């Protein structure tokens, strides 16, 4: 892993080589957004996706920014503390206590501006507000 906390693009592409190319492109765009909004983030690479978190705030849950992984026909973008995010256009789904998600099916139809705003807000989320049991 690179010192910045992100893998090289070639490492990411190699790990996702068995996934549909159009969905890999969606993952790479999400990754680019995370790099832009939080260049100090840490990235975990999986065979079906990526996890991003701020190691200064904790691990993948307490420091979580987002999880992006390939499902059958889409990329699911999950926010571990999505219930605390502003979602004025109601993009997020889910009925778990904190977790919310958005399914992205195509590059052209994705609401990239809103996705970037959600990722930015998640990256800036104050952990003390998002973990009421830990206060």
**pLDDT tens digits for 8-58?**
999 999 999 999 999 999 999 999 999 999 999 999 999 899 999 998 888
Flag whether 60 is in a domain: yes
Residue 4 belongs to some domain of the structure: no
Residue 63: pLDDT band by 50, 70, 90 thresholds? Answer: confident
Assess if residue 126 is contained within a domain.
Answer: yes
pLDDT of residue 2: 37
* Within a domain: 78: yes
pLDDT over 70 at 132, yes or no:
no
On whether residue 85 sits in a domain, the answer given is: yes
Say which CATH number the domain at 117 has: 3.90.1150
Q: Tell me, yes or no, whether 31 lies in a domain.
A: yes
The residue segments making up the domain with residue 78 are 9-130
pLDDT > 70 in the chain, percent: 90
52 located within any domain: yes
What DSSP letter does each residue of the chain carry, written as one string?
--TTS---HHHHHHHTTTS-HHHHHHHHHHHHHHHHH-TT-EEEE-SSEEEEE-TTT-STTTTEEEEEEE-SSSEEEEETTGGGS--TT---B--SSS-EEEEE--TTTS-HHHHHHHHHHHHH--HHHH-GGG-
Question: How many structural domains are present in the chain?
Answer: 1
Residue 33 covered by a domain: yes
pLDDT of residue 56: 87
Predicted local confidence at residue 29, as pLDDT: 97
Binning pLDDT at 50, 70 and 90, where does residue 135 land?
A: very low
């Amino acid at each position: 892993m690179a010192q910045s906390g992100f893998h090289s693009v070639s490492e990411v592409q190699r790990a996702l080589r068995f996934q549909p190319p159009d969905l890999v492109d969606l993952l790479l765009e999400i990754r680019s957004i995370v790099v832009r909004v939080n260049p100090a983030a840490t990235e975990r690479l999986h065979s079906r996706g990526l996890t991003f978190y701020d190691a200064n705030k904790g691990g993948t849950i307490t420091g979580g920014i987002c999880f992006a992984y390939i499902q059958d026909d889409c990329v699911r973008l999950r926010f571990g503390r999505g219930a605390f995010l502003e979602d004025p256009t109601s993009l997020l789904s889910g009925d778990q206590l904190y977790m919310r998600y958005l399914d992205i099916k195509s590059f052209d139809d994705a609401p990239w501006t809103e996705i970037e705003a959600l990722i930015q807000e998640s990256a800036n989320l104050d952990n003390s507000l998002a973990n009421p049991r830990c206060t």
